[in-house]
Amino acid sequence: MPVLGFNIEERHIYAAGRIFGPVGRYEKITGKVKFAVNPALAINKTITDLELAKLNSSGLVEFTSDFSLLIPENKSMSNQKLIVDVVNRGRPRFVSTINLAEAEPPDSTEMPPGDGYLFKNGYSVIAIGWQWDVLRNTNLLGLEAPEAEVISGPEKGLAMVEIRPDRIQHSRLLADRVHQPNPAAKENDLAKLYVRHWEDDSPKLINREEWEFGTLIGGKLEPSREHIFLKNGFQPGLIYHLVYSPERCPVVGVGLLAVREIASFLRAPSPLNPMPKGFDWIFGYGVSQTGRLLRHLMYLGLNTDEQGGKVFDGLLPHVAGSRMGEFNHRFAQPSVQSMPGFGHLPPFSDDNNKDPFSQKTDGLLVKLREANTVPKIIYTNTSAEYWRGDGSLSHISMDGRRDLEPNADSRIYLFAGTQHIDSKSLAPPGSDAADGTMGQHFPNIIDYRPLLRAAFFNLDRWVTQNINPPDSNHPRLDDQTAVSRDTALAKFPEIPDMSKPNSEFLWSLREIDLGEAASTGVGSYPPLEGRFYPCFVSAIDVDGNELSGIKLPDISVPLATYSGWNPRHSESGAPDQIIPMQGSTHYLPLTEEIRKHLQDPRQSVEKRYKSKDHYLRLVEFEVETLVTDGYLLLEDFEFVVKSQSSKFDSLSQQE
């Protein structure tokens, strides 16, 4: 049994004893879970360097994860359904998102219950740590990974760290964002630092005399193998890549096994199981980074456990686009998402699809189909995943010539006109978060969480009652709702004071050569980048709003133009490039007088809607349609209507 045991560190009644309808109170249990896996099993041999890790006396590899479990105090009131919340950079996301909670403070250790939807319906939720370089504390769940015993030499390989500053900085951690760095080895003669001005610019080598391993402390340069120092400073808006030899070699891919094994264990009856009889149904949720992790898990065949059984019955990978990630190669940094590397390799779609460059045919679900362990899957994306260059590859062929046939086991939804992070969870401008880069325009204010809640509801019914969810809803070639970014930008209205991105600098996926040892999980850096894969986005209407996807009233009865992109502010550098996780809002002119004064081509609010009551009647009709079509829950009808009512009031007050 891969789970050796739980070390419970804290157990208390959740949410100050709040009663969640007939289910009653919930317990919150936190601690650590210890795993031991067999590296000799075929199903585990996909994990890079697992065979090089230290073995225990039983010939197994051990590792430990943090966990946080929310479960009914009265176990008989459970609906026997468990959601595994695969934490994003250490932070649980599922409960606050699906329960429509207000954003919790960054230092909060309690997942806010919001409206209690999950708990009133008897769900249990376990958040599991899986990422080796998370700076673990009471707020952040991580994993203690085993180390691989790798012999020094050329075959050991190198690592690459990406640095994308929003302000001038002279020293940076050897990590993506704020994570545990992998220190530079004492001997690093092969280390190189490159810079490029935009994503697909040719990298330029920076002279070794211009930088060193060190950091500024009190204005004085001190040696540090966990930092890099650049004499002239890292400039905002530029992209730096450091290639170096790391000191440590954690087996990064055990994070995937932690996700698999916690789900597999909690399904089965066991005296160690917090639900002694086990759970009947297991779901997995990942957002952004961890949505990509779930895609990677499926590709490696890891929805099959060590006994050959199915692990997850249903998966909800959110805002993952068509990519995987830095989750299973030597020296991987799981937080990385923009740097070209293993996470940008195909396949991009569920079933076999031919790569026009390599001529190889592959798909995410190939191994799972062979094992008969394919889960039901609902993929949800925003406009941002399309504009960053990869969203359309999940449902359009890699040569860009045809729509891929619908998959009986999955659905793909675009939430029209939305940004990567829902408006309630966006980091404040100027923060170190990837979505905290300052943009030129006001961020996208569409709250798409009710659509995500409905997607989860539909996934549950699909798995447990065999009720099909609504059909996929996304841009398509055959109805001309999938267009190139250049086409969309050319049609975009000339809105006053709005800057459009330069299409030359937009992100794209490209063919990547990571060297001869890439198949063993050892990359050659910087990778060689070649031809571009096609990229499509949704066609737009005369207001600049998207025509395809699931449309909330923000789009179907608009008060603004919404985009999934936002150009960087000049203070953040590179103002002709976009912030890939942030969209924008451009309000419609309130009156005809204002429209004419601003020379805004869009019809004014007063011309569109006779009154607020008229506007809200139109909103209610659109919401009713969403409910009828299955894209929105009836119980969220009032939530969405009230949201639009508040937006109308806010816009009216701007006069």
pLDDT digits (tens, 9 = 90+) for 171-208: 999 999 899 999 999 989 899 999 999 999 999 999 99
Q: What is the pLDDT of residue 58?
A: 97
Q: b or e along 168-193 (b: 16 or more beta carbons within 10 Å of the residue's beta carbon)?
A: eebbbbbbbeebbbbbbbeebeebbb
**Predicted confidence (pLDDT) at residue 103 exceeds the cutoff of 60:** yes
What integer is the mean pLDDT of 52-81? Answer: 98
Q: What is the pLDDT of residue 430?
A: 52
Tens of pLDDT, residue by residue over 317-372, are 999 999 999 999 999 999 999 999 999 999 999 999 999 999 999 999 999 999 99
Q: Which two tokens stand for residue 60?
A: 């197994």
Say how many C-beta atoms besides its own lie within 10 A of residue 72's C-beta. 21
Tens of pLDDT, residue by residue over 280-327, are 999 999 999 999 999 999 999 999 999 999 999 999 999 999 999 999
Q: What is the pLDDT of residue 241?
A: 98
Tens of pLDDT, residue by residue over 582-605, are 999 999 999 999 999 999 999 999
118 vs 594: CA distance, rounded Å? 45
Q: What is the pLDDT of residue 423?
A: 75
206 vs 365: CA distance, rounded Å? 42
**Predicted confidence (pLDDT) at residue 433 exceeds the cutoff of 60:** no
Q: What is the pLDDT of residue 569?
A: 94
**Predicted confidence (pLDDT) at residue 426 exceeds the cutoff of 70:** no
**Predicted confidence (pLDDT) at residue 150 exceeds the cutoff of 90:** no
Q: pTM of this prediction?
A: 0.97
**Predicted confidence (pLDDT) at residue 242 exceeds the cutoff of 80:** yes
The DSSP string of 121-190 is: TT-EEEEE---TTS--SSS---EEPPBB---SSGGG--EEEEE--SS-EEEEESSSSSS---PBPS--TT
Q: Which two tokens stand for residue 99?
A: 């329960």
Mention every residue, 6+ apart, whose C-beta is less than 8 A from residue 612.
Answer: 645, 648, 649, 652
What integer is the mean pLDDT of 237-265? Answer: 98
What integer is the mean pLDDT of 42-66? Answer: 98
What integer is the mean pLDDT of 80-99? Answer: 98
**Predicted confidence (pLDDT) at residue 520 exceeds the cutoff of 80:** yes
Contact 47, 53 (CB under 8 A): no
246 vs 255: CA distance, rounded Å? 20
Q: What is the pLDDT of residue 177?
A: 87
**Predicted confidence (pLDDT) at residue 431 exceeds the cutoff of 60:** no
Tens of pLDDT, residue by residue over 388-413, are 999 999 999 999 999 999 899 999 99
Contact 197, 239 (CB under 8 A): yes
Tens of pLDDT, residue by residue over 452-477, are 999 999 999 999 999 999 999 999 99
Sorting pLDDT into bands at 50, 70 and 90, what band is 1?
A: confident
**Residue that the structure tokens 């989750």 belong to:** 327
Q: What is the pLDDT of residue 106?
A: 64
**Predicted confidence (pLDDT) at residue 500 exceeds the cutoff of 90:** yes
Q: What is the pLDDT of residue 434?
A: 54
What integer is the mean pLDDT of 10-34? Answer: 98
Strands 482-483, 560-563: pairing is unpaired
